[in-house]
Amino acid sequence: MRLKLISCEVLYREMCAAAARAPHQVDVEFLPKGLHDLGGAAMCARLQEIADRADPAVYDALLMGYALCGNGVAGLASRALPIVIPRAHDCIALLMGGRERYQVYFENNPGVYYRSTGWLERGENMDQSILGIVKDKTGASYSLGELIARYGDDNGRYLFEEFSSYQRHYRQLTFIATGLEPDGRFEEQAVAEAARRGWQFDSVRGDLRLFEKLVGGEWDENDFLVVPPGWRVKPVYDGGIMDKEPIP
C-alpha cells in the first residue's frame, strides 16, 4: 500500500522511526504543534484542508498522527480516501501505547505535566506562521515581554500571571521515554524543568505499538477508527473515544 500520513510535529521522531520500518510506502507530512491552539473546530478545518489534498489516485489510505486532540479531529470527513485515526484522547496516550494505560496513569497521578522528545524540541522552530492569528486568540503563548509590549506594564503582568497560573496546580512532570532518544539529554532537560518548577519527576517507558500498527496497516477496531468515504469522525466520550457518522 501507499499511505499518506499527516502528523503533529510533536510525534516527529516516533512517526519517522515507525515509517522507516513500515512494510508500506508512507509519505509523511508534519504540521505545526500550534494547530492545537486554534481550538477544535478551526484545527479540524485546517486538517481537513490538508487531508483533502491527498490524491486518491496515489494513496490507499490517509493516516492521522493525531488523537481526538481537544476535538481537533471531531468532524474530520473522509472524501475519497479512508481515514485512519488511533483511538486516544491525545498524544500522551499514543506515546504510552494506548488509552487504557494513559487513563490509569492519569487517574493515579493528578496534576501531571507531560514531556517527550517532541514536547521538548518541537513547537518553536517549525514555521507556525500558517496559523496566523492564533497567538492573539489565546494570548497564552506570549512571553512576559511580549505581553507588556502589547498591553502595557500593569495589564501585561496581570495577563502573564493569569496565563501561567494553571501551572501552580501541577505537581509532577512525567517524561515519556520511547527508547528512540539518542542519549539521556532529553530526560535530563525534563528533570531540570521539574526541579525549576518545584515539581516531582517521574519517567515512564513509552510504547510505540500504536505508531507501528498505524503505518503497518494493522487497523483493528479496538485501537483504530477507520472512517470510510462519505463518513466523518464523531467524538463519543466513552471507552472508544470516537466513532464514525455519515456526512449529512
- Can you give the binding site for other proteins, defined by CB under 8 A? 39-40, 68, 70-71, 74, 89-90, 102-103, 106-107, 110-111, 136-140, 147, 150-151, 154-155, 158-159, 162-163, 165-166, 169-170, 235, 237-238, 241
- Whether the CB-CB separation of 5 and 15 falls below 8 Å is answered with yes
Q: How far apart are CA 114 and CA 149, in angstroms?
A: 30
Give the shortest CB-39-to-other proteins separation in angstroms. 6
CB of 143 to other proteins, least distance (A): 13
Residue 107 CA, chain-centre distance (Å), reads 20
Q: Toward other proteins, which CB reaches closer, 49 or 154? A: 154
Residue 19 CB neighbour total at 10 angstroms: 22
Q: Please say which residue, 40 or 123, places its beta carbon nearer to other proteins.
A: 40
**Cα Rg of the chain (Å, integer):** 19
For other proteins, the closer of residues 39 and 98 by Cβ is 39
How near is the Cβ of 188 to other proteins at its closest, in Å?
26
Burial (Cβ within 10 Å: 0-12, 13-18, ≥19) of residue 41? exposed
Of residues 143 and 155, the one with the C-beta less far from other proteins:
155
Residue 169 beta carbon to other proteins: minimum distance, rounded to whole angstroms: 4
In whole angstroms, what is the distance from residue 128 CA to residue 34 CA?
A: 6
